[in-house]
Amino acid sequence: MPTAYAELCSLLKHAALLDSLAQLASWDQETYMPEKGAAARAESVALLATLIHERRTSPRVGELLAACEGDAGLTAAETPTGANLREIRRDYDKHTKVPAELVAEIAKVGSQAQEVWKKAREGSDFAMFRPWLERMIGLQRRKAECLGHAPGGEAYDALLDLYEPGATAAGLEAVFTPLRARLTDLLGRVRGSKAKVRTRCLEVKIDPAAQHAFGLAVIEAMGFDLTAGRVDTTTHPFCSGFAPGDTRLTTRYREAHFTDALYSTLHEMGHGLYEQGLPKMGKDGGPSDLYGTPLADSISLGIHESQSRMWENFVGRSKAFWKWALPKSKKQFGKALSKFDAKEYFAAVNTAAPSLIRVEADETTYNLHVMIRFEIERALLRGDLAVKDLPGAWNGKYKEYLGVKVPDDRRGCLQDVHWSFGLFGYFPTYTLGNLYAAQFWEKINQDIPDLNKQIAKGRFDALKKWLNTKIHAHGRRYTAGDLCTRVTGAPLSSEPLLRHLSAKAEQVYGV
Ligand code: ZN
């Protein structure tokens, strides 16, 4: 291996090793750190972030990258090394284009705005949050300007590209607009159905310790390596794949609704399997030569989310899953579930109804919540919508797309934390995840025709192997769009998701 390339990879590996400690500190903050540790921890994490940023943007990285790019033997587009260099360049430019002062100001305003947002949401007081949101949008416009976008695009593209490389607002609009019309139509049919879905089977009291043991048994059967990961409890579940051989999941338990924890565990495990499947670990169990470089990193938030949604919704909400999981849970939970059968669970976990809160939404309506946020944040950045008019625009879209009346801003435009700390362009990746998951799922079922039979028997090895080899192993070698075409034979489309949701509506509601 040429020395410049080896040195470049080694510098990036060092940055990743530091980053794994920063992530460990954040994980600890969310799980076990005592309350009074918060102030010092915030300083440690900020210092680590500075050190990592300095390493990733150091002039030496720039020099080595330029030297590698001048070596035709390394840069051939179709090779893994060529792809790695393409993506290292991408990261380096992103990290160096935004001045450190602006990064620091966004972080500072973001943490203050988040505190204000918490109080504003509690009191449903939009006027309190308004000046902070105006300030944050100004900062995001400046950031977008530094990052730049393709000719003919818009500022929003620059921010979206941070989470979903290559995606554009116009491209999303082209996929989302027809999807929205057909989802509202599907929702209308579901609402008009006379079918009554019984959900009593979800309201069973189960001890959290038993729920935890059950969750571990399920994800272990699915192939999550518990000797290279663990599951803990937090208010907001997440997955952190911070080092080779160390992927942490968190979940939360509600005693009266055991399926809540089950689905959040399955969701995070889907992220976790992706992290465990990336080529981060060397033969000796330590970091691989690629660790810290794009070839050992996930492609985009949309692709990451496709993995979590697949296990949560396509596997976990299927009839086959309940055929296997119900007898297993009856064994674990004793008599509590004895009255119910797999069919009842399948219907109960697939109900669809319009609601006000995104994080509580079902599989069908969820995407409508996302589209509302996409349209609004795009209009805010363009200046087509003034911040003072945000509540009105929000409530109008909820009425139009979901048919619900928003009673107050707490349950309306103040419900999500994202905008307070500057996450603009992030929301669409949730729906992209659903779309990619559906398209991959159709292909998986063609490649493994008896997959449902396997799932009903608790066999997940063929599915996991498919995901490992077709998606996880490549890291960022392909862009999300290229990977989709390569794996499924077609560019991303909303048809597979619509087919999936329509089939469920038919089974559950007879429409
Ligand atoms: Zn997720």
Least confident stretch, 3-12, 73-82, 125-134, 215-224:
73-82
Higher local confidence (pLDDT), 297 or 49: 297
Same domain, 382 and 354: yes
Overall domain count for the chain: 2
Distance from residue 305's CA to the centre of ligand 1 (Å)? 5
Same domain, 394 and 251: yes
Distance from residue 435's CA to the centre of ligand 1 (Å)? 14
pLDDT at 307: 98
Give the neighbor-by-neighbor strand order of the sheet with 229-233: 229-233, 246-251, 239-243
What are 503's two structure tokens? Answer: 């089939």
How far is C-alpha 505 from the geometric centre of its chain's CA atoms?
A: 25
Same domain, 196 and 237: yes
Closest CA to 236 of 406, 29, 374, 42: 29
Q: Is 1 a residue whose pLDDT tops 70?
A: no
Q: Is 206 a residue whose pLDDT tops 70?
A: yes
Q: Can you give the residue range of the structural domain that contains 138?
A: 3-165
Contact, 376 vs 343, CB < 8 A?
Answer: no
Q: Give whole-number Cα distances, 504 to 312, 409, 431, 448, in Å.
A: 15, 32, 18, 21
How far is C-alpha 368 from the geometric centre of its chain's CA atoms?
A: 17
Distance from residue 301's CA to the centre of ligand 1 (Å)? 8
Distance from residue 320's CA to the centre of ligand 1 (Å)? 23
Domain endpoint, select from 119, 145, 165? 165
* Residues with CB in 5 Å of ion ligand 1: 308
pLDDT in tens, 455-499: 999 999 999 999 999 999 999 999 999 999 999 999 999 999 999
Q: Is 111 a residue whose pLDDT tops 90?
A: no
Active-site residue among 7, 78, 101, 268?
268
Same domain, 153 and 204: no
pLDDT at 104: 87
Give the C-alpha separation, 187 to 193, whole Å.
10
Same domain, 139 and 236: no
Distance from residue 239's CA to the centre of ligand 1 (Å)? 8
Domain endpoint, select from 165, 199, 215? 165
Give the C-alpha separation, 206 to 331, whole Å.
13
Query: Is position 268 annotated as part of the catalytic site?
Result: yes
Same domain, 133 and 251: no
pLDDT at 160: 98
pLDDT at 334: 86
pLDDT in tens, 414-430: 999 999 989 999 999 99
pTM of structure: 0.96
Mean pLDDT (the chain, rounded): 95
